[in-house]
Structure 1
């Protein structure tokens, strides 16, 4: 039997695991005592040495496999797009509710689907579109109960919402660039370069932002190290591997598991209640991901 219809189960499982790992990013950021953009910088700065050790360790294997080891525009774009995504999302957290910022930043599937349709004239199956719709509605229901109130003034809150939505555009661009770059580079080298470039791009903003840049105590490094190891290495790196084996549209929809993970983690760690509407949203989100997988 031809294996052209074979679905890359391992890559899909890795994508979901990576998405769940990134779902903890907000938890670790809340536990840190540095300013939000500084926490994003330290996430990159602490992860980069581990990734470079890995990249250098597999350099010979990269050459044997025909992978590139030089520096190209794709590596720069991956780092810059991800830096823009992180900076805009963290800024949106200051001017709108956490729920709004989280929800709007996860609208990347819409922008990826629009780009794939516009640039490549890809036509999506009906079941994929239904699945993506279910997943997005589920994400809205999951975060929606917390999206009203607790924010800033009308104008500032609107600006924060715009920043959150803008971060989704750059996250979509990042995913598309990484998917293309993974055909040329190994996961190790791609993530070592993109993480380093992201960190360098974030550094001046982290230094200029209000709040502490350095942790006040030794214990303050623990959440930052967790951001590096869990969110960046265990999350973005695993996702970069999966993107080489999955359609960009399916990958983006599946990454909506992030707000579900964040909601469950906040319930377990901070005792933030999950109501019936949020439970329904979580169920719809998972069902939507399953339908999108079937329709890919």
Structure 2
């Protein structure tokens, strides 16, 4: 992940960007696991704050070390993307206090597929029939995976509306990040994005009247894990991969997140997947496969564009 656009290789495989986004989605799948492990000593908004803050110096060192310069000046789209992402996380956490995890996860996940519609409106990336089929299959799979278990809890329309607002913010984050990546390298973008998220998360900790500090030093373990695995690894790969991947396809790829979270919960917390959930996971993977067929077909029809130097 370099921030020097002129040094990007001209023969980069067309699958490289989507593979980075997919890898980032896998890393982001650890987010609910880290959150669950950290709630004993910190509130959900405080966990997000420390996740961003711990990641910031790591990202700065990476940006300076790889690019051999200070991070390039940010653009307004980075600020928009950072605010959208931080508010998305905050609203999703808030929605969990009113509705079930299954409901909130499914509704927020819809934001990833809505990216295609926003990319059509704002980026002129017109979706195709194959992409539409991939989205439909993935949505059905996400519904089965999120809602097909035996999760208890009561639902509340307030929680569902908060999750819906978070879904809209997911779309805004993806589209704004895509535009920002046209002007910034991957490491530069994710560094400034995280800096914005630190500020927004701090305001949310204050607004929700949570404590910034855990009761013991061990309370920092979960946020530190999230900083390295999710913020640096996950968001870094996603932002960098967006420089090489249409936003609509990236949104479908990120639906891998609930599969990862469910698989880890199965092993770590003994939360066995039902047959319906396993079928839902398979449908999500099929949707991801179909979306990539569309991507490869488009690139094969435009070899000249595929051979152009790509910004990283």
Name the CA shift for 1:147/1:81 in 2 (closer, same or farther; >3 Å): farther
Question: For 1:134-154, what per-residue CA distance to the aligned partner results, in whole angstroms no more than 9, with x for missing partners?
Answer: 0111000001124864135xx
Question: Superposition pairs for residues 1-296 of structure 1, below 5 Å?
Answer: 8-32=14-38, 33-60=41-68, 69-119=72-122, 122-146=125-149, 149-151=152-154, 157-296=156-295
Shift of 1:228: 0.4
Partner SS state of residue 94, structure 1: coil
Give the Cα separation in 2 of the matches to 1:208 and 1:147: 33
CA contact (8 A) 1:44 1:196 kept: yes
Partner SS state of residue 74, structure 2: coil
Shift of 1:180: 1.2
Give the Cα separation in 2 of the matches to 1:191 and 1:25: 17
CA contact (8 A) 1:35 1:209 kept: no
Which sections of structure 1, spanning at least 5 residues, go unmatched? 63-67
Shift of 1:187: 1.2
Q: TM-score, normalised by structure 1?
A: 0.89
Which sections of structure 2, spanning at least 5 residues, go unmatched? 1-9, 296-312
The residue that corresponds to 1:65 in the other structure is none
Give the Cα separation in 1 of the matches to 2:77 and 2:120: 22
Shift of 1:241: 0.8
Question: For 1:254-286, what per-residue CA distance to the aligned partner results, in whole angstroms no more than 9, with x for missing partners?
Answer: 100001111101101100010100010000110
Give the Cα separation in 1 of the matches to 2:96 and 2:135: 26
Shift of 1:74: 1.7
Give the Cα separation in 1 of the matches to 2:86 and 2:217: 26
Name the CA shift for 1:43/1:103 in 2 (closer, same or farther; >3 Å): same
Task: Say which is worse superposed, 130-139 or 107-116, in terms of deviation.
Answer: 107-116
Alignment RMSD: 2.1
Give the Cα separation in 2 of the matches to 1:288 and 1:144: 18
Give the Cα separation in 2 of the matches to 1:88 and 1:199: 16
Name the CA shift for 1:78/1:255 in 2 (closer, same or farther; >3 Å): same
Give the Cα separation in 2 of the matches to 1:185 and 1:116: 19
CA contact (8 A) 1:92 1:161 kept: yes
Shift of 1:7: 5.9
Question: For 1:83-128, what per-residue CA distance to the aligned partner results, in whole angstroms no more than 9, with x for missing partners?
Answer: 1111111111111111111111111234222223334554422222
CA contact (8 A) 2:114 2:171 kept: yes
Shift of 1:53: 1.4
Q: TM-score, normalised by structure 2?
A: 0.85
Shift of 1:59: 4.2
